[in-house]
Amino acid sequence: MIALLLLPACLERATGEPIPLDPRYYAAHEGVHGEEGVGGGNSVPFSDVDGKKVVVRGVITSEIADLPVDVDVRVPDADSPGGMAGKGKILLDAPGEFELSVPISLGKLELQAFQDADSDGPTGNDPFATVWLDVGETDMTDVTLELEEGARGGGPVHEAAPPGAPGGNPGGGEGGGEGHPSGPGGNPDPFSGIEGRRIVLTGSLLCDCTGGVDL
């Protein structure tokens, strides 16, 4: 009985000679990864756009030479969140040359490059650089992005305003004093010089901290 069960099985003899792998096993993976310095698969910028294109080529530099680089390709779009639409991504194994094809006469194009130094996603401390380009009818071959740690930033620099000025403490005591009419909660009205109908904007500021909050 055991012999009958083993009859259908056929063992292939190993010769020790390397045999090339069937391309069907890795062609799809290579298509997703793409060419070096270009990106690939569905992330290839403007891969779904037909028509004439120009080349945008440049170099990315960083003090961290052995860390991969992500380059987000974006264009202005009033209908997208934040007014910008992502058009794909370029993935580099390390800082160096990059290249992408862009629709001719596209206009404004933004490239945002960063290295995820702590493997925690984009943060304000990562090496970062951004550049705005105006794509016309000719190739652009001298684009440079110099990654710098902390260049992404975390928000505008706070500047103290004098009492009575927009954003400052109410002048002349509680209620706005002589500078500006009082707004809700006794704060100065930031729109005191604007006439017309108004709407109310309410919300909550949450912070695990102590001290005052400027808005």
Q: Is residue 86 part of a domain?
A: yes
pLDDT band at 72 (very low <50, low <70, confident <90, very high): very high
Distance between CA 37 and CA 60 in Å, rounded? 11
CATH number, residue 82 = 2.60.40.1120
Q: Is residue 91 part of a domain?
A: yes
Distance between CA 129 and CA 98 in Å, rounded? 14
Q: Which domain holds residue 95?
A: 34-45+52-149
Q: Is residue 183 part of a domain?
A: no
92-102: pLDDT as tens digits: 999 999 999 99
Q: Is residue 127 part of a domain?
A: yes
Backbone angles phi, psi at 88, to 5 degrees: 130, -175
Q: Is residue 145 part of a domain?
A: yes
The number of angstroms, rounded, from the C-alpha of 130 to the middle of its chain's C-alpha atoms is: 9
Q: What is the pLDDT of residue 81?
A: 86
Please tell me what DSSP assigns to residue 9: -
Distance between CA 157 and CA 166 in Å, rounded? 16
User: Closest by alpha carbon to 105, among 80, 139, 74?
Assistant: 139
Q: What is the pLDDT of residue 69?
A: 94
Q: How many Cβ atoms sit within 10 Å of the Cβ of residue 128?
A: 21
- Please state the domain count of the chain: 1
Distance between CA 38 and CA 101 in Å, rounded? 9
Q: Is residue 159 part of a domain?
A: no
Which helix H or strand E contains 28, and what residues bound it? helix 27-33
Q: Is residue 155 part of a domain?
A: no
CB 64 within 8 A of CB 127: yes
Examine the pLDDT at 213 and tell me if it is beyond 70. no
Q: What is the pLDDT of residue 117?
A: 85
Q: Is residue 40 part of a domain?
A: yes
1-45: pLDDT as tens digits: 555 555 555 555 666 676 666 665 555 444 444 444 444 334 689
The residue-averaged pLDDT of 164-178 equals 46
pLDDT band at 200 (very low <50, low <70, confident <90, very high): confident
